């Protein structure tokens, strides 16, 4: 018998969380071994608690975030904290690159990062002492973006980043439209820090000053600027909106910190060097008598589980390594944790409640209050035992906006005994751990799809089909067989946007940090209706708003209809599965090389290099269109020999697999050489590899494969040889399948669990 509720859960565990030796030998033989590893590690300072911790983890009731699940008890040099907000960026060249170094060290250990770029002077501002004008924050964001591409974080996860900018910064309009270039800032999520005065100016139709360091650069109409934000996110799904004044006003620590940035998914607004430590209560596991009249959540079990989870997460603060000493000091001084939920939509379904209804919103508020009460009281008990967090000030703490509506008995307990953790609740993206827990609904999101089909590669090379079913839907099937799902079963594609907002607002009241959530909007929503979603989020007390509207630019989100054939997704059931990008292809088999190919050879002369590099690109004609098939890179400079051969083989292998291979250009052009780049034909090229990427891009444009520089794929010349069915939409960069979903503000693959946000 297995503890896993679905095959995909076991596959996710094996691929992402199971402890293995460097050669792939499994150390965790079973999921029970993983739970014991985590429990023992977090109980290191109080070993008598190991059994209690194991019981909380057992059967996926409490789900520590992925960093904890993968890293606790491994003795590896990784951080158990998911994400960080870095230090305030100084407005100086030396300070900026000191911050870049800190970011690289943090991502190297597996942490995502958030930055506020509002502190960098605007483009065109004078730079004292060098008779030059500033290049502006966007230019430095490009540098950060290139750095992020080069670092593979622990657990094979690339670092994710969040960039914020205040709505009154003189470069805010460039910030808003930056992601309209599909090749730019791909490693960033971006959000505008919207202030209360700005929202009032939008509502009243007032003017709005764009200022920096006390100087007003120009004045715009607030509504015009708001419309530019709305148009960009309507077209490109970014930037998001963060109501920063509300965040600071409600912050329990408003008396000792100011927040100007968030972690990459937005659920943790953090001060400079702040870190987010995340975990989720699986509500779907706590419902008694599901789908019956007596269905209810076990509140006693919920309270006990929250109490144990708070203790476990508090211990993580002491057990974790930190990339930087400043991050360790910040975590120890405030002992922030972010306890949230997953499986909320499934739990509501088990009670017969339609997600987005008034009844479901009311029930959500009741559950979140119960979690908040239990968490705060548990932290008070820890304060009695171990002392409050070092910066605790009873009166200042209780005066914060978040504590004003807390029950009197909890407030009195805090006043008398203090509290161990400054902030306790947050709702994080749980895309991967929700799959690991049996495909429960993610975070507080609605069920995304009732079911979809995956193709599974067997050891003998054959493929079988496997249905992946939502946890609550499977439970309904087990209980009622083939009976139709009741009307209260709804999913993300059928919900009205305002229903999403209602659920986010209901949960936010009892969450002292913030919430990662995506409000799915239909493609045909009017622009005015789209703007109303953001205004409703503002009016109902949300701390931020992220939407996703499928269109020709953003791509269509995976949509699965119960009446239509589900998309196929490839994976593997090998005992030692290969990495997902090795199993999944666009074309059924790599194309054989014809006897003759058309091509071109380009000469690249890198400054200060004795010998030129020659790049030959040969094309294949498919369905009347030319597409790159192979690359040869040659040079007499023997210093280049090994890497040019490797690059030749790797790029050619990618080209021969087909699909949208334009990412090769984007990745090469983003590589920067720490020794410095060179100016070529009026452009700064950050490295030889970037120059090679530029040559390949030039060739693709000349042959019609690319519409233009930075424009991406114009059309898919090999569409007629693709033999794996898919729905329109973005492909997963890890496994190649068309199963990317916008979940809680982050594109996530339902096939392999890959997430843009790390």
What amino acid positions are annotated as catalytic residues?
Answer: 263, 265, 267
CA dist 547 and 525 (Å) reads 12
Question: Cα dist. 470→5, 120, 621 in Å?
Answer: 10, 46, 43
Q: 730 near 747, Cβ under 8 Å?
A: yes
CA dihedral 226, 231, 236, 242 (to 10 degrees): 20
CA dist 557 and 536 (Å) reads 24
Residue 714: which residues within 8 A CB-CB, separation 6 or more?
704, 705, 706, 707
Phi-psi region of 156 (alpha: psi -120 to 50; beta: other; left: phi over 0): left
Beta bridge partners of 79: 321
First-to-last alpha carbon distance for the chain, in angstroms, is 32
Q: 44 near 319, Cβ under 8 Å?
A: yes
CA dist 189 and 164 (Å) reads 9
**DSSP code string of 180-246:** GSTTSSTTEEEEEEE-HHHHHHHHHT-EEEEEETTEEEEEEEHHHHHHHHHHHHHHHS--EEEEHHH
Among 708, 677, 710, which residue's Cα sits nearest to residue 691?
A: 677
Residue 377: which residues within 8 A CB-CB, separation 6 or more?
307, 410, 413
The H or E element that residue 81 is part of is: none
CA dist 406 and 593 (Å) reads 70
Peptide bond into 239 cis (omega under 30): yes
CA dist 454 and 438 (Å) reads 15
CA dist 46 and 67 (Å) reads 21
Among 689, 669, 549, which residue's Cα sits nearest to residue 613?
A: 689
Quickly count: other Cβ atoms within 10 Å of residue 585's Cβ: 18
Beta bridge partners of 296: 288
Q: Kindly report the three-state secondary structure assignment for every residue of 694-741.
A: HHHHHHHHHCCCECCCCCCECCCCCHHHECCCCCCCCCCCCCCCCCEE
CA dist 70 and 279 (Å) reads 13
**DSSP code string of 372-395:** HHHHHHHHHHHHHHH---TT--HH
Question: Cα dist. 572→387, 434, 579 in Å?
Answer: 49, 19, 9
């Amino acid at each position: 018998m297995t503890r896993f509720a679905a095959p995909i859960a076991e596959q996710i565990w094996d691929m992402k969380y199971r402890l293995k030796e460097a050669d792939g030998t499994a150390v965790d033989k079973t999921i029970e071994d993983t739970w014991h590893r985590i429990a023992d590690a977090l109980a290191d300072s109080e070993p008598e608690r190991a059994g209690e911790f194991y019981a909380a983890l057992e059967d996926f009731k409490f789900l520590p975030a992925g960093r904890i699940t993968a890293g606790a008890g491994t003795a590896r040099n990784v951080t158990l904290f998911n994400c960080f907000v870095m230090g305030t960026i100084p407005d100086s060249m030396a300070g900026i690159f000191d911050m870049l170094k800190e970011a690289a060290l943090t991502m190297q250990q597996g942490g995502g990062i958030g930055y506020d770029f509002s502190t960098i002077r605007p483009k065109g501002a004078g730079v004292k002492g060098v008779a030059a004008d500033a290049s502006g924050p966007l230019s430095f964001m490009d540098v950060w973006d290139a750095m992020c591409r080069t670092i593979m974080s622990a657990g094979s996860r690339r670092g994710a980043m969040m960039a914020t900018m205040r709505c009154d910064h003189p470069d805010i309009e460039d910030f808003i439209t930056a992601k309209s270039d599909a090749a730019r800032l791909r490693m960033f999520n971006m959000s505008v820090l919207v202030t209360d005065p700005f929202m009032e100016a939008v509502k009243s139709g007032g003017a709005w000053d764009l200022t920096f360091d006390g100087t007003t650069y120009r004045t715009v109409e607030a509504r015009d600027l708001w419309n530019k934000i709305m148009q960009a996110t309507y077209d490109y799904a970014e930037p998001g909106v963060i109501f920063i004044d509300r965040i600071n006003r409600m912050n329990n620590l408003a008396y000792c910190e100011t927040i100007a940035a968030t972690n990459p998914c937005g659920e943790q607004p953090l001060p400079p060097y702040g870190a987010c430590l995340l975990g989720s209560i699986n509500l779907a596991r706590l419902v008694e008598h599901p789908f019956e009249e007596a269905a209810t959540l076990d509140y006693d079990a919920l309270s006990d589980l929250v109490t144990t989870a708070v203790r476990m997460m508090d211990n993580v603060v002491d057990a974790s390594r930190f990339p930087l000493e400043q991050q360790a000091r910040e975590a120890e001084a405030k002992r922030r944790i972010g306890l949230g939920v997953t499986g909320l939509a499934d739990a509501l379904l088990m009670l017969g409640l339609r997600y987005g209804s008034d009844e479901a919103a009311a029930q959500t508020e009741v559950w979140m209050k119960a979690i908040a009460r239990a968490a705060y009281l548990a932290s008070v008990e820890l304060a009695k035992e171990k002392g409050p967090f070092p910066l605790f000030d009873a009166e200042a703490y209780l005066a914060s906006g978040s504590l004003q509506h807390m029950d009197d008995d909890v407030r009195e307990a805090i006043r008398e005994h203090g509290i161990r953790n400054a902030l306790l609740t947050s709702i994080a993206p749980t895309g991967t751990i929700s799959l690991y827990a049996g495909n429960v609904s993610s975070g507080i999101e609605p069920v995304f799809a009732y079911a979809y089909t995956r193709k599974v590669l067997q050891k003998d090379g054959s493929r079988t089909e496997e249905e992946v079913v939502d946890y609550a839907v499977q439970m309904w099937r087990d209980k009622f067989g083939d009976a139709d799902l009741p009307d209260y079963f709804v999913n993300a594609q059928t919900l009205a946007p305002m229903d999403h907002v209602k659920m986010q607002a209901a949960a936010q009241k009892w969450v002292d940090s913030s919430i990662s959530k995506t409000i799915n909007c239909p493609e045909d929503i009017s622009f005015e209706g789209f703007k109303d979603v953001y205004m409703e989020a503002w009016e109902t007390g949300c701390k931020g708003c992220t939407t996703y509207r499928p269109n020709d630019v953003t791509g269509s989100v995976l949509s699965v209809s119960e009446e239509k054939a589900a998309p196929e997704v490839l994976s593997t059931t090998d005992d030692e599965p290969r990495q997902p990008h090795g199993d999944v292809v666009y074309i059924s088999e790599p194309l054989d090389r014809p006897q003759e190919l058309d091509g071109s050879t380009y000469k690249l002369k890198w400054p200060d290099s004795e010998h030129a590099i020659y790049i030959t690109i040969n094309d294949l004609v498919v369905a009347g269109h030319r597409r790159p098939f192979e690359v040869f890179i040659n040079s007499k400079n023997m210093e280049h020999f090994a890497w040019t051969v490797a690059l030749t083989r790797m790029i050619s292998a990618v080209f021969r697999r087909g699909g949208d291979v334009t990412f090769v250009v984007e990745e090469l052009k983003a590589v920067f050489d720490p020794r410095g780049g060179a100016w070529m034909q009026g452009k700064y090229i950050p490295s030889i590899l970037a120059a090679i990427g530029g040559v390949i891009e030039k060739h693709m444009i000349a042959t019609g494969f690319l519409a233009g520089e930075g424009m991406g794929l114009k059309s898919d010349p090999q569409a007629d040889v693709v033999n794996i069915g898919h729905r329109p939409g973005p492909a997963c960069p890890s496994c190649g399948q068309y199963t990317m979903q916008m979940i809680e503000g982050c594109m996530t693959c339902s096939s392999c669990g890959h997430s843009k946000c790390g």
